[in-house]
Structure 1
Amino acid sequence: MAAAIHAAIERTGVLVAEAGTGTGKTFAYLVPALLAGGKVIVSTGTKTLQDQLYDRDLPAVREALACGTTAALLKGRANYVCLYRMKRAAGEGRLASREEVSQLHRIERFAAMTTTGDRADLADVPEDAPVWAHATSTRDNCLGQECPDYRDCFVMRARRNALAADLVVVNHHLFFADVVLRDEGIAELLPACNTLVFDEAHQLPETARMFFGESVSTTQLTELARDARLELRAAGGASPELDRVATRLDKAARDLRLALGEPGARLAWTQALRLPDFPGALEKLQASLKELERPLAEQAERSEGLASCARRAGGAVAVLARMGESEGQAEVRWVEVYGHAAQLHVTPLSSAELFRRQMMDHPRAWIFTSATLAVGEDFRHFTRELGVPEAETRRWASPFDFAHQALLYVPKGLPLDPNDPAFTQAVIEAALPVLEASGGRAFLLFTTLRALRRAHELLRSRIGFPLLVQGTGSRSELLSRFRTLGNAVLLGSQSFWEGVDVRGEALSVVVIDKLPFAPPDDPVLAARIESIRAQGGNPFTELQLPQAVLQLKQGAGRLIRDETDRGILMLCDPRLVARPYGRRILRSLPPMKLTRRLADVEGFFRDYQSGSQIRHQGALLRRPSGVR
């Protein structure tokens, strides 16, 4: 793999490389990238991998190569303490609780000591704490060079370090935010970049679609209303009119969210407009936003903060106006509903042409790698989605011995239709004897939150193992408890399907309830399906099935993380064996033996426990004398 990447760098080519778990793909791209010289940008799918690569993998490779390559870590601005906003929040004294006041004091002490300002280095304040909104900046509210703290700005310091470094580690969100918005400092890096490596590249098409579109959220608008009032006071002025319209905007944004009903919905724009209270709430929101835009424009000369608020208001007015335009064939309008907010989107159906344009601006090597890029041996779904049909494609299987380390179990007797109301209960009944045989130590992964909640109801009084449930703590907290407990059962949905690494005996079973087909009524998917049909294509084979296969590969990949792991992958969807496409899905999974017999699962764990005892006894025999 390293040789193939080296060759792609030498010819400034495009390489799509799937590398199974355990191949060492991080080293396989870091070594040739560092040896080739020139400027290198490595982009990861998550901040977790970004930190791991910068803190652990990169130092190991640099030491092994004995090279003097300089490196920098660059994150989005929301990851760095904003000195201006932190000081303003402390001076205003308007935080919601004593806990927030205490957390802000901790952030102030951290800001006085840190050289990076990276909030990941401050463990004392949870990453989802509301106070961070007062102590970090966004593209909307950053004052740029007009900021009184510009010279000491942590974001600018990180960007200067990135400009000077030979290798820069970023993440996909940061990369696209900059490519599209020219906002994160990468635009300055790209012209000099010789090699671009995208790890966890399977996430790129979705991330690209998000950033190549437009959106506005009710949270952005409530923050705009708050910032407008605060910036006016900071500029030493008062405007009763601005105060009134800012209050109206805040209320209108909250009313729009309430008009959309329960959280968790993803609605097509036409669906949202059919809701009884939504059209009226939208009209009031647009009116109040335009009302605020006028006094902000009049006050903009008083300070950069007010000028920034005026620009934010104008941008939001433009997005809302675009939401009201007739929908083109290449895009979809839709609404996402959260617990306390809603986001309105205009999303392109394909990011291929838009991404391809970014690739054409300067000759360089483009390397795309992940453990899940191909459907079987076929890369066409990924290359079509990203607009790189001419790319060289290569695949390296995992070196693990799946035939001996793992067993694929597809239980009998489950409802043939996974949408059957009794399906989740049938999954739990089938999983209980497996959990008993494994002694807990399991992930149960669900395709919907509704199924997860139902599984929790069914399991909580029926197992003697610690039960951890997504939503009862942060992902990192739940994983830490899972590893520490050693016999826990964790119920997870989307956020646990990928990017989770639990090695050793703590995880010996992964149960997946259904094939992860995206719901066909999802507004973006529904529009893409209709577009493919209109062009004479087959949306199931071209889009829905490949997406499900890649998602399933991610979920299944949680089980075997190194050469000593052993475990059961339990797939509960009868379509795997009852539908013709099931064979295509099975061929895409690691080469495990398949069984439909519970007795084989129980035998697997008996053999595993016997082997563990033998290995343990061997370790005792090999202990040095004097060790007890």
Structure 2
Amino acid sequence: MQRASEYLGQDGPFCEQIPGYQVRQNQLVLCDAIEDALQSGQVLAAEAGTGIGKTFAYLVPSLLAGKKVIISTGTRHLQDQLFHTDLPRVIKALSIQSTPALLKGRSNYLCLHRLTMAPHLGFINRESRASLAEVEEWSKLTQSGDISELKTVAEDSYIWPMVTSTADNCLGSECDKWDSCFIVNARKNAQAADVVVINHHLLLADMTLKNEGFAELLPEADAFIIDEAHQLYDVAARFFGNVVSSRQLISLARDSIAEQVNEASDMAELRDYAEELERSARDFRITLGDSGLRETWLKVQNKPSVKQSLDNLENTLKDLLAVLELAAERSRGLEQCYERAQGLMARLKVFRANTNDPETGYDEADEDRSVLWYETYTKSFMLHATPIDVALIFRKHTDNFSKTWLFTSATLQVNKKFDHFAHNIGLEKYSSGVWDSPFDYQQQSLLYLPEGLPQPSEPSYTTALMEAAIPVLNASRGRAFLLFTSYYAMHKAYDYLKQRLPFELLMQGDLPKHQLLEKFRETDNAILLGTSSFWEGVDVRGESLSCVIIDKLPFASPGDPVMQARIDAIKRSGGQPFMEFQVPQAVIALKQGVGRLIRDVNDSGVVMIGDPRLKQKTYGRIFLNSLPSMPQTSDIKDIETFFSARVTPGIPEAV
């Protein structure tokens, strides 16, 4: 019987049909391993190096297996690429009949019911009204309702939350638009498909039945392929928790008013209570203090102003809940507002119960112990209850489904072991393997570890790092990413460099991310400064990117309330949180950052990591052992020689 890998081999259809396709030996071996896992019902953790072609390596055996396979990605960008580009190419090359489907979360689809309600909200400015008119016109033409189709309305437009649904405000099968609902149609297509491309949020939503009202996908699947699996832990931690946000409260208030206008015009008190809820939510935000806070609830729960404001918020929600109960029978929309208010009240009471352990900030009585914390933005807030042990919850859910799971990413190992990844998501019995990148890091790259820099905790560190970076940036003639662990350091570096380099500096926040990357690609010798969102999921090939400079080892802030709760939990169980959790998490993040440099067999460049702890601390060896096998140097002359040997005509020298 022909093996799946033979289709990817020298005599297979991919070589014949796909321009520029190259056979990669490790891709073939990975393909065989995935095929074996699919056939025997195994759990496989596969670290596949950048450039190996892991997407084709799992698509080919998945499509040939004749099973229902769900592929989950970490980002919508990869989802779209898989469905619109990779899947059609593989299906064509294999010459098979296949019915793939793309399924996103409900907030990605136009809600026809909410579209009809939007004009009655009364909170729309002139710009939003123009956007609403565009959405209304597009709604008559679209087949999928996927809002990413409408490029003329910004992704972060104020209008989208008004015309898309959430699990809270969806009316379900009682909606008068049910028969033409884009989400219902998308899920029906997914149920009929043999390969379904979803994302991690949707995977977890189906696991926890948070999409109630729709037929679930997971019980029908024969196999799950989790791409970008290194992201699964963080996504699960956020998803398995509960949130009360100002946006949820204000959305409830405004939806209640819109329903009152249409279905209960005689109940003026409903509008009054809804408006009071919005005011109370805004007042509560003010009592929480400055914007940009991310703190344990323990810090503020006993402050008189916070307690009083929370009392007011709870009481106004209770008043609205009472009148919604009376109005609920008038329409499904009002009934649904009543149900949302009940849910918000239940979640809000968690922050009133005051059962938190005074030392840890979490509820010791809770089986799936959660840390209570809050974060503030300029005009909004979020209250979180986040589970500390994600593994226990994840394992409970995965045990209910298919025994065949493939977890794959370029960054699963820490210090050449899968223990950290497996422990985080509760994997116990699994096979694992590493399939190295086809890139020749010894020839294509150089790791520069400058000496003599101060400790990262010292105020002079960022300036000293930029002083050391300038000769590197001159040697590379710009063409660099500077990746930072904080916004403060990024801005400080930008201010230092802007008068000292002849190259154009681009900084995160100046433009939307996709526009900033496009400008970087189009601008000769540009330097882009970014924080966490640029450490992964960014693909710039060719000479536009020839240098990556990383300011510090990317340890999560120990002041982060969720991180602190996990540290405390590990300590209480007799463990060593720094080596067991903080270092491994930082290693994965560093591997992602370093991975921005070499994206193709023809790429070359230098990675500079300024943090002296790499050489001075014993744990530094764990980081270095986890990186690709690059030559190392601490001599700037080696950097200059590296780049001078690769001078490309047309790329100007520094002046």
Where on the TM-score scale, by shorter chain, does this alignment land: which range?
Answer: over 0.9
Moved more, 270-279 or 326-335: 270-279
Structure 2 unmatched runs, 5+:
1-29, 357-362
Equivalent residues in 2 for 1:24-63, closer than 5 Å: 24-63=53-92
Query: What do residues 24-69 of structure 1 show as CA deviations (whole Å, max 9, x unaligned)?
Result: 1111111111111111100000000000000111111111111101
Contact 1:467 1:490 in 2 (8 A): yes
Instruction: Give the TM-score taking structure 1 as reference length.
Output: 0.95
1:18 counterpart SS class: strand
Q: CA deviation at 1:205?
A: 1.2
Matching residue of 1:410: 449
Matching residue of 1:252: 280
Query: What do residues 448-471 of structure 1 show as CA deviations (whole Å, max 9, x unaligned)?
Result: 111112222222333222211111
Query: What do residues 117-154 of structure 1 show as CA deviations (whole Å, max 9, x unaligned)?
Result: 11111111110111111111111111112222211111
Quick one: which amino acid aligns to residue 529 of structure 1? Answer: I
Q: CA deviation at 1:388?
A: 0.5
Matching residue of 2:518: 480
Query: What do residues 226-269 of structure 1 show as CA deviations (whole Å, max 9, x unaligned)?
Result: 11111111114232322222112101111222222222221101
Alpha-carbon distance in 1 for matches of 2:44, 2:241? 26
Alpha-carbon distance in 1 for matches of 2:227, 2:77? 12
Matching residue of 1:618: none
The structure-2 alpha-carbon separation of the partners of 1:304 and 1:185, relative to structure 1 and needing over 3 Å to count, comes to: closer
Quick one: which amino acid aligns to residue 74 of structure 1? Answer: L
Quick one: which amino acid aligns to residue 206 of structure 2? Answer: D
Alpha-carbon distance in 2 for matches of 1:453, 1:281? 35
Query: What do residues 70-102 of structure 1 show as CA deviations (whole Å, max 9, x unaligned)?
Result: 100000111011112112223x27353222111
Alpha-carbon distance in 1 for matches of 2:579, 2:49? 24
The structure-2 alpha-carbon separation of the partners of 1:614 and 1:307, relative to structure 1 and needing over 3 Å to count, comes to: closer
Alpha-carbon distance in 2 for matches of 1:55, 1:186? 25
- The answer to whether the aligner puts 1:282 opposite 2:320 as a matched pair is no
Contact 2:209 2:216 in 1 (8 A): no
Alpha-carbon distance in 2 for matches of 1:13, 1:231? 51
Matching residue of 1:576: 614
Alpha-carbon distance in 1 for matches of 2:214, 2:633? 50
- Equivalent position to 1:497, from 526, 535, 558: 535
- Equivalent position to 2:555, from 499, 517, 520: 517
Moved more, 406-415 or 328-337: 328-337
Query: What do residues 192-218 of structure 1 show as CA deviations (whole Å, max 9, x unaligned)?
Result: 210100000011111112221111111
- Equivalent position to 2:414, from 359, 362, 375: 375
Q: CA deviation at 1:399?
A: 1.0
Matching residue of 2:27: none
- Equivalent position to 1:595, from 607, 627, 633: 633
Contact 1:178 1:185 in 2 (8 A): no
- Equivalent position to 1:119, from 144, 147, 156: 147
The structure-2 alpha-carbon separation of the partners of 1:184 and 1:456, relative to structure 1 and needing over 3 Å to count, comes to: farther
Alpha-carbon distance in 2 for matches of 1:444, 1:86? 42
Equivalent residues in 2 for 1:178-197, closer than 5 Å: 178-183=206-211, 188-197=216-225
Alpha-carbon distance in 1 for matches of 2:603, 2:535? 18
Contact 1:76 1:174 in 2 (8 A): yes
Matching residue of 1:228: 256
2:539 counterpart SS class: coil
Alpha-carbon distance in 1 for matches of 2:581, 2:545? 32
- The answer to whether the aligner puts 1:203 opposite 2:231 as a matched pair is yes
1:250 counterpart SS class: helix
Equivalent residues in 2 for 1:413-424, closer than 5 Å: 413-415=452-454, 417-424=455-462
Query: What do residues 482-528 of structure 1 show as CA deviations (whole Å, max 9, x unaligned)?
Result: 11113211111111111100001111111110000111111111111
The structure-2 alpha-carbon separation of the partners of 1:185 and 1:116, relative to structure 1 and needing over 3 Å to count, comes to: farther
Contact 1:20 1:371 in 2 (8 A): yes
RMSD across aligned positions (CA): 1.6
Query: What do residues 162-215 of structure 1 show as CA deviations (whole Å, max 9, x unaligned)?
Result: 111111000001111222243178862212210100000011111112221111
Alpha-carbon distance in 2 for matches of 1:362, 1:244? 47
Quick one: which amino acid aligns to residue 616 of structure 2? Answer: A
Instruction: Give the TM-score taking structure 2 as reference length.
Output: 0.91
Q: CA deviation at 1:294?
A: 0.5
- Equivalent position to 1:333, from 363, 366, 372: 372
Equivalent residues in 2 for 1:124-523, closer than 5 Å: 124-183=152-211, 188-273=216-301, 277-325=305-353, 326-327=355-356, 328-329=363-364, 330-415=369-454, 417-523=455-561
Alpha-carbon distance in 2 for matches of 1:427, 1:259? 39
Moved more, 37-46 or 188-197: 188-197
Quick one: which amino acid aligns to residue 271 of structure 1? Answer: K
Alpha-carbon distance in 1 for matches of 2:384, 2:632? 43
Q: What stretches of structure 1 move > 6 A for 4+ residues in a row?
A: none
Alpha-carbon distance in 2 for matches of 1:180, 1:49? 23
The structure-2 alpha-carbon separation of the partners of 1:276 and 1:495, relative to structure 1 and needing over 3 Å to count, comes to: farther
The structure-2 alpha-carbon separation of the partners of 1:351 and 1:586, relative to structure 1 and needing over 3 Å to count, comes to: same
Query: What do residues 556-609 of structure 1 show as CA deviations (whole Å, max 9, x unaligned)?
Result: 111100001111111010000111111111010011111111111111110111
Q: CA deviation at 1:418?
A: 0.6
Query: What do residues 425-476 of structure 1 show as CA deviations (whole Å, max 9, x unaligned)?
Result: 1121111221111111111111011111222222233322221111122111
Q: Identity over aligned residues, as a percent?
A: 48
Q: CA deviation at 1:276?
A: 6.2
Contact 1:77 1:184 in 2 (8 A): no
Alpha-carbon distance in 1 for matches of 2:230, 2:121? 44
Matching residue of 1:549: 587
Contact 2:520 2:528 in 1 (8 A): yes
Contact 2:173 2:213 in 1 (8 A): no
Alpha-carbon distance in 2 for matches of 1:81, 1:363? 32
Query: What do residues 311-350 of structure 1 show as CA deviations (whole Å, max 9, x unaligned)?
Result: 1111011011112331323221111222321111111111
2:217 counterpart SS class: helix
Quick one: which amino acid aligns to residue 373 of structure 2? Answer: W
2:451 counterpart SS class: coil
2:496 counterpart SS class: helix
Alpha-carbon distance in 2 for matches of 1:187, 1:304? 20
Matching residue of 1:619: none
- The answer to whether the aligner puts 1:7 opposite 2:52 as a matched pair is no
1:273 counterpart SS class: coil
Quick one: which amino acid aligns to residue 335 of structure 2? Answer: A
Quick one: which amino acid aligns to residue 412 of structure 1? Answer: E
Query: What do residues 400-436 of structure 1 show as CA deviations (whole Å, max 9, x unaligned)?
Result: 0111111111112211x21111111112111122111
Alpha-carbon distance in 1 for matches of 2:253, 2:562? 30
1:34 counterpart SS class: helix
2:197 counterpart SS class: strand
Quick one: which amino acid aligns to residue 365 of structure 1? Answer: T
Matching residue of 2:24: none
